[in-house]
Structure 1
């Protein structure tokens, strides 16, 4: 036991009543259990508590209390611990493995279970997924203390009838970023002026994780270690109830479910979930908040349509996910239209809802178990009613992208089986049928038109997986992991040259690694057929070629470097002994051109959309292994851009001065590549950097304005935005930006109203939305017909000797669009070779 803990225990010789503002009603408390105030040295709400101190406190509770045990479920990108404090009565804790097994039986569709009134309900109290929404982690400390120290009969009843799983901080990296900011600028006396630095974080703020991802959108996509750890934990425990505590704008009050009506016309989650259970629990919250005089609202603004929230993913796993939104003090104390809002006040509402969740869950645990059992049984019933018996998919050319997709299925416990011809099949008749629907089904009819987030999430399209429903099912061996899914033939030694498939998702990473080792690598700008090991093989656009004799390294060193890269990235590589090909160009052709090393920078900081910047950073860091220089806007005037040959500008509200704009334009004209995404593409067109145009609204001055009720304005105007749809494009696969694709039909994700007009240059429009572009998600008829159908998704425009690659859509959305990452990576690695043909 640490000296710190011994000191705290010696100090705790009496019950601490200093923070009865929170838990007066739950006395008496055990004197041997230190309160958060005693352990931390300050009252909860006086300062923001660092993540390491939160974990230390919970670890101490697990040592001194026989009601608690601490488990680790992962680490963040920055190495911070992800922990879960398991709390119940001492008797339940002693018998937890047996209780857990009885609980999990309710998730098995074939189990015939009689009511088990002695079985505790499993409740996951989860806090602080957005780092700068800090009140809930402080409430987690108070909740953990109450449950481990209180001997109040109400609390003892909850302990006897529930297993409580406290996740104090889902996003530790973001929380600590915000914690340091709030404490650094905390005044004494406190400053309530909303303009004070304490209430206004610097970019990117603490909302996101290390790579600036919103972890509350990552449950479905499972890109980050925080989410992957939580998903692995979730499918081990399957809690009956899961809380998701947030904060919102300071000028608001408090939100709890029920949410807005479900947006899907025929939602895959049972109506009983979002109507009956939400309303049942909502009555408990209203009474609890009424008792402490807090204002609140329900059924507005927030919806649970997207299945990747912490409050919606549990709904697809037989549980009840519950969203809470507290008006934020954005610091310690701030002036609002209602008066002053304090950090302790925000914490008390979250704490009150935490304890109330236990009350509602315990008093309705039989109902929750019956619901959980019916949920999984109905999954099988629904699947058997459907004519679709499974989904078949595969990819003959890109095994690593296919592997990544299968990994996504497996982390959600979706059953996957081998089929014939190298394909795979997912049966619909399985406990995770609703997740199968989430991954493969697409929709075009909705009961609502304004969404808090995306209205499209068919994950198979994220990966550009060509799949088809099947009415009969033939399955081979079940896939249990992805370690051995990609097996490439080991590269053979050559004294002449090596060829590397550009079709594979990992090929850009191979290129980067070989270039970083000093090898000169060329790319083919036309297909050809060569002899490999005595057999003819056709190579696609973009195939990499590594000649042996022209390198500064020996043949042995070259062979070793290629072998290392292949072992790491599992990309097909081939040895050839002649430059004379059977068909198409030869290896010495001018259409096989050496590539310069990519030296890439990206503008970040005020005005730049951090999500998109983080997605670029994450892609290059974690999948390509290539450094990217992140240039803060505040440092722009001190930067020597000639150090780079590629610059990325993601979406944002740019405010470059005329002089700064000239710097970038002159740099591009020297032969460099500028890549713009979303609103950055729109911005440079409006600033006339390029001679491209936007598709703009065709206003009809003769059409009379139709009078509308004022109360409907927000809904009517909101539906004109494009919250997130999947659209079909027609891709020019002969263009360097289209290299690595075999099929010209490519799904893209659109969540903006950037409408690029196709270029007047007939060779410059790389991807255009097809004549029938809608795949999934809500879009108004006007946006579909007037804007989407005639627009381009990807254009390259000349600027002097350089070029500007303009994406209308985000090819790296949430780190999960494996299907369009290649477009962006092509722009990085092959953009230098794009010269837009012009007529004389």
Structure 2
């Protein structure tokens, strides 16, 4: 695999990548002239990449550039629109005409350009893509001749040079600072072993190639907005895989394609693949297709287009991870990986040009078929007590340009109550009805038992909202342009105190603000009525007496908190209630939590990042991140709560420190595999259930991995009963909850039923794949156990309550564990 022109010092120039016998416009600067090094000599940093792209846009009449937003770290999210000078002069009209193709089946596609979105390095340490984008942008700006003119007259390229700027910058720094003058290909070298968390993820350690459907991150918001604005015909997603691999392009494994994806989509993908094969054959690069990966989960860049009338294509290049690394296929150089990415970028454009009318017709037919699937029905979702998470789901739908309507009046269906201004309707006679179906799809049977990603993501379950299908259109009203906004306020000034229901999603943020002010607050352990109004378990009571603020100051602080969080806080004129009175011992004092979380080696960065993001971005709470490298030297007594996300291994010294801290009164919240070492250390007394190892017959060696994989729970949704009187469940209005699970950790229930506040039902599967064996084991087990240890306690979750930042429906379980652990 080592190109002969690449020596031990990785001397390479642009000619190595570019097609032969093509002349280039000398007025267009090569990357070296702007970034200061040849492509592939160093890993491009994001700032240099931005400088080059902006310079190209300045000097080339083929390129216009758009800054679509910024990352969490403030880096610009660029989009280059590349086409002929003639097309640039009417670029907006081309976009509008392209959308008309999808709205009008009689619109003539023959004279319209095809739209190709080319995206690179959504995983920051898969950087050959972003570096290839430098070569591609130069080629499209500078190449001369009839072929390039024909291409740019008939194709509009939306070039996203790096979809993860923060991760790319992190990785480029690592690779460059560990590069030697004499390139060392020894795979043991530090260059190939990033420190935790690595450059794959964004600022909050999210895998952004799982966020195309949930759209929770600024990078995703930018690119999904571009996608729906343009509806590109082809979207390419350039990745890297293990060093000992070769090169992969889609289609993936055929039987693992989502059944909602039209068969012709995969046929066109395969036809485009022939262009990749021919291009790679010309340069002698090895490749494969249809043996790996899949097109099932619609939240990936290569699959999301498939439910939107486009064709998504995944590329996976074996990764050098640095500048040159030994592999089973010989020495793999960074320039070689860049060249493969560049060559398949060109083969994509060749296919788009040759298949232009065929692919435009496919997209037009896709939306024609969608219109034939119109139903005079609607899906209605909402939560009569929680507009916050209802709106969070509505925001996602809006980002996908899904039309929302109000409901005319309150109504009840199948025992679920839908309240006007707390519910939204999705009419199924709209353009994106297939996308709606995909987002709310429920699947329990599958052609295959292996999945590259999750097997279920049903959005009403994820957001914890009630859902009604097949609602008649006469129950819905006008389209909702702006989402409902609950006017936050304190109802009246009080000399007794104030009551804040705990049902709304953002009440933890409000409570944190109140405690930050040094105010006293209590939580209700029982239901009650005050002045005829009912209050649930978990209602927060803020008394007026013995506060550090005057009565007037307290009112003003609470009113501001209510406004900022869109909450209603009631001032009460009596402490006498039906049920417990406000002076009752059943109102328990709440202390301001001081929260820390273990990060670093041995901790799963995805899980840690999701918790950090939630507390930091949604609830405005400080979180101290304690690295496993130095935690043993930290005085843990200053923290009341420590969270340990899913972990793979923690040193004995850390375990001892954590154990001593718990015994002195600390509260440990632990997830998934962390429970295993807690049990071994005698910090968590729990009985696990394990599947029986039955004798396996008639399975040949070739099929062994299929058998093993079928016994995993890769990501499915399960139903559990909840005891709403238990503090872990405060704020939930239903007696059941939908939980996401991607582990095979099963805990036996306690003999005392009140110690099982959350317990899987006897028929728990809501959506997704699970083997019969695992489903039988899961029934009636518990996903949560709370256990005292000395003066402290351990709260253990078998699964992630914050999955990928969009599982809003179980976020409150963690917040309850943080705020109410002293009364559990």
Query: Is the shorter-chain TM-score for this pair beyond 0.5, marking a shared fold?
Result: yes
C-alpha contact 2:43 2:175 (8 A) present in aligned 1 = yes
Structure 2 residue matching 1:251: 3-state secondary structure: coil
- CA deviations 1:364-400 (Å, max 9, x no partner) are 111111111111111121234xxx8221222111111
Q: Which runs of 5+ in 1 are unaligned?
A: 1-16, 835-840
Per the alignment, residue 736 of structure 1 pairs with 727
**Following TM superposition, by how much is the alpha carbon of 1:155 offset from its aligned partner in structure 2, in angstroms?**
1.8
Q: Distance in 2 between matches of 1:584 and 1:253?
A: 69
Structure 1 residue matching 2:728: 3-state secondary structure: helix
Per the alignment, residue 416 of structure 2 pairs with none
- Correspondence for 1:572 among 568, 577, 581: 568
Q: Distance in 2 between matches of 1:481 and 1:291?
A: 54
**Following TM superposition, by how much is the alpha carbon of 1:745 offset from its aligned partner in structure 2, in angstroms?**
0.7
Per the alignment, residue 320 of structure 1 pairs with 311
Q: Distance in 1 between matches of 2:378 and 2:154?
A: 40
**Following TM superposition, by how much is the alpha carbon of 1:301 offset from its aligned partner in structure 2, in angstroms?**
2.2
- Correspondence for 2:226 among 220, 233, 252: 233
C-alpha contact 2:120 2:129 (8 A) present in aligned 1 = yes
Q: Distance in 2 between matches of 1:761 and 1:606?
A: 38
- Correspondence for 2:34 among 39, 42, 52: 39
- Correspondence for 1:397 among 385, 389, 402: 385
Answer yes or no: is 1:107 the counterpart of 2:76.
Answer: no
- Correspondence for 2:252 among 228, 253, 259: 259
**Following TM superposition, by how much is the alpha carbon of 1:93 offset from its aligned partner in structure 2, in angstroms?**
0.5
Structure 1 residue matching 2:20: 3-state secondary structure: helix
1:386-535 paired onto structure 2 within 5 Å: 389-419=377-407, 420-421=409-410, 422=420, 423-470=423-470, 472-474=472-474, 475-482=476-483, 484-488=484-488, 490-531=490-531
- CA deviations 1:263-282 (Å, max 9, x no partner) are 36x711211112x1111101
C-alpha contact 2:488 2:563 (8 A) present in aligned 1 = no
1:567-606 paired onto structure 2 within 5 Å: 567-581=563-577, 583-606=578-601
**Following TM superposition, by how much is the alpha carbon of 1:441 offset from its aligned partner in structure 2, in angstroms?**
2.1
**Following TM superposition, by how much is the alpha carbon of 1:623 offset from its aligned partner in structure 2, in angstroms?**
0.8
Per the alignment, residue 200 of structure 2 pairs with 207
**Following TM superposition, by how much is the alpha carbon of 1:24 offset from its aligned partner in structure 2, in angstroms?**
3.6
- Correspondence for 2:536 among 533, 537, 540: 540
C-alpha contact 1:262 1:305 (8 A) present in aligned 2 = no
**Following TM superposition, by how much is the alpha carbon of 1:114 offset from its aligned partner in structure 2, in angstroms?**
4.1
Answer yes or no: is 1:268 the counterpart of 2:264.
Answer: no
Per the alignment, residue 7 of structure 1 pairs with none
**Following TM superposition, by how much is the alpha carbon of 1:619 offset from its aligned partner in structure 2, in angstroms?**
0.5
Stretch moving more, 200-209 or 402-411: 402-411
Per the alignment, residue 360 of structure 2 pairs with 369
**How many residues in Structure 1 have an aligned counterpart in Structure 2?**
800
1:238-317 paired onto structure 2 within 5 Å: 238-263=231-256, 267-274=259-266, 276-317=267-308
Q: Distance in 1 between matches of 2:571 and 2:70?
A: 41
Q: Distance in 2 between matches of 1:687 and 1:281?
A: 55
Per the alignment, residue 337 of structure 2 pairs with 346
- Correspondence for 2:804 among 793, 807, 814: 814
Structure 2 residue matching 1:310: 3-state secondary structure: coil
The 1:438/1:24 distance shift into structure 2, 3 A limit, reads closer
C-alpha contact 1:755 1:792 (8 A) present in aligned 2 = yes
Per the alignment, residue 698 of structure 1 pairs with 692
C-alpha contact 2:78 2:160 (8 A) present in aligned 1 = yes
Per the alignment, residue 718 of structure 1 pairs with 709
Answer yes or no: is 1:135 the counterpart of 2:133.
Answer: no
**Following TM superposition, by how much is the alpha carbon of 1:477 offset from its aligned partner in structure 2, in angstroms?**
1.4
- CA deviations 1:785-832 (Å, max 9, x no partner) are 1x2113211111111222111111110001111110000100011112
The 1:393/1:705 distance shift into structure 2, 3 A limit, reads closer
**Following TM superposition, by how much is the alpha carbon of 1:54 offset from its aligned partner in structure 2, in angstroms?**
0.7
1:605-624 paired onto structure 2 within 5 Å: 605-624=600-619
Q: When the two structures are superposed, what TM-score results if normalisation uses the length of structure 2?
A: 0.95
Q: Distance in 2 between matches of 1:211 and 1:88?
A: 35
Q: When the two structures are superposed, what TM-score results if normalisation uses the length of structure 1?
A: 0.94
- CA deviations 1:32-89 (Å, max 9, x no partner) are 0011122222110000111111111111111101111110111101110001011111
Q: Which runs of 5+ in 2 are unaligned?
A: 1-11, 411-419
Answer yes or no: is 1:633 the counterpart of 2:658.
Answer: no
The 1:797/1:731 distance shift into structure 2, 3 A limit, reads same
Q: Which runs of 4+ in 1 moved over 6 A?
A: none
